[in-house]
Amino acid sequence: MENIRIGLIGYGEVGKTFALGLKSQPGVAACAAWDIKFVSAEVRGAELAHATQGGIMACTSMLELCQASDLIISAVTASNTLAVAQEASRHLRPGTTFLDLNSASPSTKQQCAALIDACGGAYVEAGVMTSVPPYGIRVPMLLGGAQAAALSLQLTAWGMDAKVVSERLGVASAIKMCRSVMIKGLEAMVIES
Protein backbone atom coordinates (compact mmCIF):
# COMPACT_ATOMS: atom_id res chain seq x y z
CA MET A 1 0.00 0.00 0.00
CA GLU A 2 1.24 3.46 -0.85
CA ASN A 3 0.51 6.82 0.78
CA ILE A 4 -0.81 5.28 3.99
CA ARG A 5 -1.82 7.79 6.63
CA ILE A 6 -1.26 6.32 10.09
CA GLY A 7 -3.09 7.56 13.17
CA LEU A 8 -2.14 6.69 16.76
CA ILE A 9 -4.74 6.80 19.50
CA GLY A 10 -2.73 7.22 22.68
CA TYR A 11 0.51 9.18 22.64
CA GLY A 12 2.19 7.58 25.63
CA GLU A 13 5.35 5.50 25.57
CA VAL A 14 4.00 2.94 23.07
CA GLY A 15 2.21 5.51 20.91
CA LYS A 16 5.27 7.72 20.67
CA THR A 17 7.49 4.75 19.85
CA PHE A 18 5.21 3.55 17.06
CA ALA A 19 4.56 7.04 15.66
CA LEU A 20 8.25 7.91 15.46
CA GLY A 21 9.21 4.45 14.18
CA LEU A 22 6.57 4.30 11.44
CA LYS A 23 6.51 7.86 10.11
CA SER A 24 9.50 7.39 7.82
CA GLN A 25 8.69 3.89 6.58
CA PRO A 26 8.21 3.36 2.82
CA GLY A 27 4.68 4.19 1.71
CA VAL A 28 3.78 6.14 4.85
CA ALA A 29 2.48 9.55 3.79
CA ALA A 30 1.84 10.98 7.26
CA CYS A 31 1.60 10.06 10.90
CA ALA A 32 -0.89 11.67 13.30
CA ALA A 33 -1.80 11.18 16.95
CA TRP A 34 -4.66 11.91 19.33
CA ASP A 35 -4.47 11.68 23.10
CA ILE A 36 -6.58 13.22 25.86
CA LYS A 37 -3.31 14.68 27.15
CA PHE A 38 -3.42 17.06 24.15
CA VAL A 39 -6.23 18.95 25.91
CA SER A 40 -4.92 18.65 29.48
CA ALA A 41 -3.68 21.98 30.82
CA GLU A 42 -0.90 20.33 32.87
CA VAL A 43 0.84 18.40 30.08
CA ARG A 44 -0.57 19.79 26.83
CA GLY A 45 2.45 21.97 25.99
CA ALA A 46 5.03 19.24 26.47
CA GLU A 47 3.02 16.62 24.58
CA LEU A 48 2.31 18.89 21.61
CA ALA A 49 5.95 19.99 21.51
CA HIS A 50 7.08 16.34 21.43
CA ALA A 51 4.73 15.60 18.53
CA THR A 52 5.80 18.68 16.59
CA GLN A 53 9.50 17.98 17.09
CA GLY A 54 8.98 14.40 15.91
CA GLY A 55 7.03 15.40 12.79
CA ILE A 56 3.80 13.89 14.12
CA MET A 57 0.56 15.76 13.47
CA ALA A 58 -1.19 16.30 16.81
CA CYS A 59 -4.93 16.07 16.22
CA THR A 60 -7.43 18.11 18.20
CA SER A 61 -10.00 15.30 18.47
CA MET A 62 -10.77 11.67 17.72
CA LEU A 63 -12.85 12.89 14.77
CA GLU A 64 -9.87 14.68 13.23
CA LEU A 65 -7.63 11.64 13.72
CA CYS A 66 -10.15 9.24 12.17
CA GLN A 67 -10.71 11.49 9.17
CA ALA A 68 -6.94 11.78 8.60
CA SER A 69 -6.06 8.05 8.87
CA ASP A 70 -6.13 4.91 6.75
CA LEU A 71 -4.57 2.77 9.50
CA ILE A 72 -5.37 3.54 13.13
CA ILE A 73 -3.30 2.01 15.91
CA SER A 74 -4.90 2.04 19.36
CA ALA A 75 -2.30 2.13 22.14
CA VAL A 76 -4.14 3.09 25.32
CA THR A 77 -4.52 1.54 28.76
CA ALA A 78 -6.45 -1.73 28.96
CA SER A 79 -9.24 -0.05 30.92
CA ASN A 80 -9.85 2.40 28.04
CA THR A 81 -9.80 -0.15 25.20
CA LEU A 82 -13.56 -0.44 24.72
CA ALA A 83 -14.29 3.27 25.25
CA VAL A 84 -11.73 4.18 22.58
CA ALA A 85 -13.24 1.71 20.10
CA GLN A 86 -16.71 3.10 20.84
CA GLU A 87 -15.60 6.66 20.18
CA ALA A 88 -13.54 5.77 17.10
CA SER A 89 -16.44 3.81 15.61
CA ARG A 90 -18.52 7.01 15.54
CA HIS A 91 -15.94 8.75 13.34
CA LEU A 92 -14.15 6.02 11.39
CA ARG A 93 -14.15 6.20 7.61
CA PRO A 94 -15.22 2.96 5.86
CA GLY A 95 -12.21 0.89 4.82
CA THR A 96 -9.99 2.07 7.68
CA THR A 97 -7.96 -0.63 9.40
CA PHE A 98 -8.01 -0.48 13.21
CA LEU A 99 -5.07 -2.26 14.90
CA ASP A 100 -5.72 -2.76 18.62
CA LEU A 101 -2.47 -3.15 20.58
CA ASN A 102 -4.14 -2.89 23.99
CA SER A 103 -3.76 -5.58 26.64
CA ALA A 104 -7.46 -6.35 26.93
CA SER A 105 -9.32 -9.63 27.33
CA PRO A 106 -10.45 -11.64 24.32
CA SER A 107 -14.10 -10.74 24.99
CA THR A 108 -13.26 -7.02 25.11
CA LYS A 109 -11.40 -7.31 21.81
CA GLN A 110 -14.42 -9.09 20.30
CA GLN A 111 -16.70 -6.25 21.47
CA CYS A 112 -14.32 -3.71 19.95
CA ALA A 113 -14.25 -5.62 16.67
CA ALA A 114 -18.05 -5.63 16.47
CA LEU A 115 -18.07 -1.83 16.81
CA ILE A 116 -15.32 -1.21 14.26
CA ASP A 117 -16.62 -3.73 11.74
CA ALA A 118 -20.18 -2.36 12.00
CA CYS A 119 -19.04 1.05 10.74
CA GLY A 120 -17.15 -0.43 7.78
CA GLY A 121 -13.71 -0.62 9.37
CA ALA A 122 -11.43 -3.64 9.53
CA TYR A 123 -10.50 -4.63 13.09
CA VAL A 124 -7.25 -6.51 13.79
CA GLU A 125 -6.21 -7.49 17.31
CA ALA A 126 -2.60 -7.62 18.38
CA GLY A 127 -1.08 -9.43 21.31
CA VAL A 128 2.15 -7.54 22.06
CA MET A 129 4.35 -10.26 23.49
CA THR A 130 6.91 -8.27 25.48
CA SER A 131 7.85 -4.73 26.48
CA VAL A 132 7.97 -2.28 23.58
CA PRO A 133 10.94 -0.05 24.56
CA PRO A 134 13.82 -2.45 23.88
CA TYR A 135 12.36 -3.42 20.48
CA GLY A 136 10.55 -0.33 19.21
CA ILE A 137 8.31 -1.13 16.26
CA ARG A 138 10.01 -4.52 15.98
CA VAL A 139 8.38 -5.78 19.18
CA PRO A 140 7.00 -9.30 18.62
CA MET A 141 3.23 -9.22 18.03
CA LEU A 142 0.63 -11.87 17.33
CA LEU A 143 -2.25 -10.76 15.10
CA GLY A 144 -5.81 -12.04 14.91
CA GLY A 145 -8.89 -11.32 12.85
CA ALA A 146 -10.20 -11.68 9.32
CA GLN A 147 -7.88 -8.92 8.01
CA ALA A 148 -4.82 -9.96 10.03
CA ALA A 149 -3.02 -11.64 7.12
CA ALA A 150 -3.34 -8.61 4.84
CA LEU A 151 -2.17 -6.24 7.57
CA SER A 152 0.70 -8.54 8.52
CA LEU A 153 2.15 -8.20 5.01
CA GLN A 154 2.23 -4.41 5.35
CA LEU A 155 3.64 -4.45 8.88
CA THR A 156 6.42 -6.89 8.03
CA ALA A 157 7.32 -4.75 5.00
CA TRP A 158 7.99 -1.99 7.54
CA GLY A 159 10.32 -4.30 9.49
CA MET A 160 7.80 -5.19 12.19
CA ASP A 161 7.60 -8.64 13.79
CA ALA A 162 3.89 -9.33 13.25
CA LYS A 163 2.71 -12.93 12.91
CA VAL A 164 -0.85 -14.06 12.25
CA VAL A 165 -2.10 -16.67 14.71
CA SER A 166 -5.79 -16.90 13.84
CA GLU A 167 -8.63 -15.38 11.86
CA ARG A 168 -10.70 -15.78 15.04
CA LEU A 169 -10.67 -12.77 17.30
CA GLY A 170 -9.49 -13.32 20.85
CA VAL A 171 -6.85 -15.96 20.14
CA ALA A 172 -3.92 -13.52 20.01
CA SER A 173 -5.10 -11.80 23.19
CA ALA A 174 -5.57 -15.13 24.98
CA ILE A 175 -2.04 -16.24 24.06
CA LYS A 176 -0.62 -12.93 25.27
CA MET A 177 -2.55 -13.18 28.56
CA CYS A 178 -1.38 -16.77 29.16
CA ARG A 179 2.21 -15.76 28.48
CA SER A 180 1.90 -12.83 30.90
CA VAL A 181 0.51 -15.08 33.63
CA MET A 182 3.36 -17.55 33.17
CA ILE A 183 6.15 -14.96 33.03
CA LYS A 184 4.84 -12.84 35.89
CA GLY A 185 4.02 -15.97 37.89
CA LEU A 186 7.56 -17.27 37.48
CA GLU A 187 8.95 -13.88 38.50
CA ALA A 188 6.79 -13.89 41.63
CA MET A 189 7.88 -17.44 42.50
CA VAL A 190 11.54 -16.54 42.13
CA ILE A 191 11.12 -13.47 44.32
CA GLU A 192 9.22 -15.47 46.96
CA SER A 193 11.89 -18.18 46.92
d(CA 119, CA 123): 11
Confidence of residue 173 (pLDDT cuts 50, 70, 90): confident
- Determine the pLDDT at residue 178: 66
pTM: 0.90
**Exposed, middle or buried by CB within 10 Å (0-12, 13-18, 19+), for 94?**
exposed
pLDDT value of residue 182: 66
Starting at the edge strand found earlier in the chain, the sheet holding 122-128 runs 57-58, 28-34, 4-9, 71-74, 97-100, 122-128, 141-144, 162-166
Q: What is the structure's pLDDT at 60?
A: 94
Q: What is the pLDDT of residues 120-172, one digit of tens each?
A: 999 999 999 888 999 999 999 999 999 999 999 999 999 999 999 999 988 78
How does pLDDT run across 89-104, given as a tens digit for each residue? 999 999 999 999 998 9
As a whole number of angstroms, the distance between CA 97 and CA 70 comes to 6
Instruction: Report how far residue 180's alpha carbon sits from residue 90's, in angstroms, rounded to the nearest whole number.
Output: 32
| pLDDT mean over 111-120 | 97
